[in-house]
A and B are shown apart, each in its own frame.
Chain A
């Protein structure tokens, strides 16, 4: 459980960090909360030669509403989502997700940017961000660029992020009074990756949804948007049958593989069940808000 030797850098500005990434290329890995990277290093599954610890860069930890977006700094800790009343009230999907991530010790240090940047479909925020229609702000040698979440996750541990880029912000369209959501996660025990999890965000227009976002966790090589389920529901009056059908479509559109958490068939069934439960909760919340 001892990692291989590495060189350790502690840049104090963003540009310094990016310069280090430019200098060291593939040899370098960014250390943020470290909760994915450090275990991989300790098992020697990853042996990066240079570690660029970005925790000393100021002004990357914040949660604020501005210019029609909820803006979350890339270094914001998971615990901040739990502790910010505005998140709990207006973005229950984010709150529900945060409290299901690992355990309190991890959440005190783990960052939202890191959770997304790792490109792991088993992480919880990727599906959440799909459901919320987020955008990722990446900063590199040529400044900022905005990546729509649907273009971000390209494969297992593979994202649209360039090796010289750092996630500096996540932008989510501001929720209005007709929106709500939830995250339903099935895990074997606390701290486990999801057997399957479903993130749902809805915006109501009368008795039917004007917008529906559904993201699926850990049932494919990337987080998956349950597109057919979303389309099925938009603009329709909510019925149990429709919700059931949305669950069925989601279970068809995911791509789980069998492992110790269950068979492919089981995981598809869990996706269906959790999708239905998440939709029901989201609709109830949105209609009562």
Chain B
């Protein structure tokens, strides 16, 4: 990509180093737990050992006697203020603290407020809770059976554990294609419950000033403004008013969707601070984070494709059972209960499609969150990319050939899918062919044939996925009715330096650098001279936050639009200073010059100075602009991934020999940051594909509640990623960019799963659920009689 600006200016396309890294690399980031305030108290939470139990009594007298303990907060305490339940974003309800029943293991039961965290931890052991354990509902497949207890009798009209049914598409037309199809394939696919496991756990410091009735909350949140509004809405009745709430989201050690929800701990800490009038800090430990904070995925899907016998796909059906835990606390900003799952037709042309889903309650932690994707896109992509391979195997076609035969073609863009999305741009065959060439696909197939003849197992897996990011157009997206625009406010100072503030919140994405580059591109001000700020609701313009790869599609667009407003004003000032009409001026990044007389020019810095010192009469002084950008459509980045694996037939271990990721995210702001995003995303795609799973036993005990058993891959497990790109700009985005933070997480798992199945396909293996672990693969090898003993 050719850069329009010089390296000094550092606009789009320059791999400038990340401005934020100076502090991160020197350990000088400021995270929530780094803040200390005078008189600050500490909160620790007592959690349930049972998945489902009546609480008969809670005796906190011994805990209260411990020196340094100020309060033990229980559901009964909160009930006095009607704060023991809170609404979820999905119009469900969630306990802040229980008054009578615990619904999952590790649920909050009581909270201790003490003068230091050590005393608080000791006090937890002194709280005596009498439980009456009950048989929990763990398996979602049997959750609706009549003999199962109704987990949510508190909800009016609830006669079983069903939460909602959702469907989209034309059921009858789709069924008709299936009825008449030459080939139908069907496969159960489970995409397991996982956890984002960000390096920084969740936490907050609630600080209520009783005199001024003002609340400041430092919180690890991806959406500070939304949190402020939620706090005002849920606690308005106890005196919190939005103008007196300030949410500060400082540096964040990873979010991935896990820091979008409001967790009970936030509400308890806030309530405690309001009651006591002192700052209350709550920081989760790792196990609390893994066991109680929102999970992701947990979709039991059954996919079906109708096709011709020569592999032309005609229709898609997916039926899903969603396990939401005891409440639907999904961090889902769309108007659809399953988020953007209906992007499940993928990169392929279908005559029709239909998908339906039922969500059920179980005695597990509530959720879910996205885990580095637009809500429910990874599930959709996993289903379609697996199903395409299942079909290829059924009709005896190479999976690459089958994909090429069924891609939506570039000339069909913008393309309306049968389930209602309008893809903005993409050239799927071009990107995929580049991947096939680059990895040497034909050679690999030859090698595979030779290896098979020798009894060795090697597999090649493909994923040619389409992502859907940038939530989102107000017709489909809102949070509590607030439309999902995002915002930028640019203030250029008289000396030509600027501060820009945004409604989003970086958690490692590099916003301080990339937003500055967008403004540099539009105004010609060096990116180094633009200070980017986010996360303080008192100073930043209102925005919906950072998740679902929405920052570049929304706030990035807002940055460009605000900068263009400034450029319009700059043109007027330049015309005045050069004593020509506006039409006589031409712009090049950083200056206006007179057409035909380039020596007559004014730099953007000259103009900024003039805006404060010598602006035309009748014009407002100053050089500032704000823009709220409501995107006309989502952006649809895509990629072509190819994974090569070798399987150890003695142990069942899968080794990824090569993994090539070619991504297309439209125009690129900072290639280095994009590559970093892809590397991180691929690793977080590897994680659920081969390592991570939240596993419960039949009693509802979580078996993977620590990093001993919840296996987050490290650099040792991570293959050397090979990356490349194609560039197909978004036609509707002001700078032609698409979100890239999550593509790789979405696209990688099916490439890995497909490679493993491909290695075993000649044995008749059609599917392996992720995570593809060594014992799972060994079991297959053994059953097929090919395991080395």
Contacts and interface: CB of A to CB of B under 8 A. Distances in A.
**Are the chains A and B members of one assembly?**
yes
B789 A260 contact: no
B789 A261 contact: no
A263 to B, nearest CB: 7
B287 interface: yes
B774 A269 contact: no
Interface in A250-289: 260-263, 266, 269-270, 272-274, 277
Nearest to A261: B775
Contact of B775 (A1, A266, A272): A266
Interface stretch (B115-123, B388-396, B743-751): B115-123
B789 A272 contact: yes
Nearest to A190: B716
A247 B789 CA distance: 9
A246 to B, nearest CB: 13
A2 B787 contact: no
Given A189-B714, A190-B714, A273-B788, A262 B653 contact: no
A188 B711 contact: yes
Given A1-B287, A269-B789, A272-B789, A186 B121 contact: no
B213 to A, nearest CB: 34
B93 interface: no
B717 interface: yes
A188 B778 contact: no
B122 A269 contact: no
B430 interface: no
B775 A263 contact: yes
Contact of A188 (B121, B285, B773): B773
A4 interface: yes
A269 B782 contact: yes
Interface residues of B, number: 32
A189 B654 CA distance: 12
Contact of A277 (B650, B652, B778, B787): B650
Nearest to B648: A273
Nearest to B285: A1
Contact of A44 (B125, B650, B695, B779): B125
B695 A260 contact: yes
A186 B653 contact: yes
A269 B787 contact: yes
A36 to B, nearest CB: 12
Interface in B98-148: 117-118, 121-122, 125
A195 interface: yes
A263 B650 CA distance: 15
Contacts of A260: 695, 703-704, 709
Interface string A227-250: 000000000000000000001100
Q: Report which residue of A2, A195, A274 has the largest number of chain B beta carbons within 10 angstroms of its beta carbon.
A: A2
Nearest to B771: A188
A261 B789 CA distance: 18
A143 B509 CA distance: 61
Interface string B748-789: 000000000000000000000000011100110010000111
A186 B774 CA distance: 10
A110 to B, nearest CB: 16
Contacts of B117: 2
A12 B113 CA distance: 40
B286 interface: yes
Interface of B: 117-118, 121-122, 125, 285-287, 650-653, 691, 695, 703-704, 708-709, 711, 713-714, 716-717, 773-775, 778-779, 782, 787-789
15 contacts: A1-B286, A2-B117, A2-B121, A186-B651, A190-B716, A190-B717, A195-B774, A247-B789, A248-B789, A260-B695, A260-B704, A266-B778, A270-B651, A273-B651, A274-B650
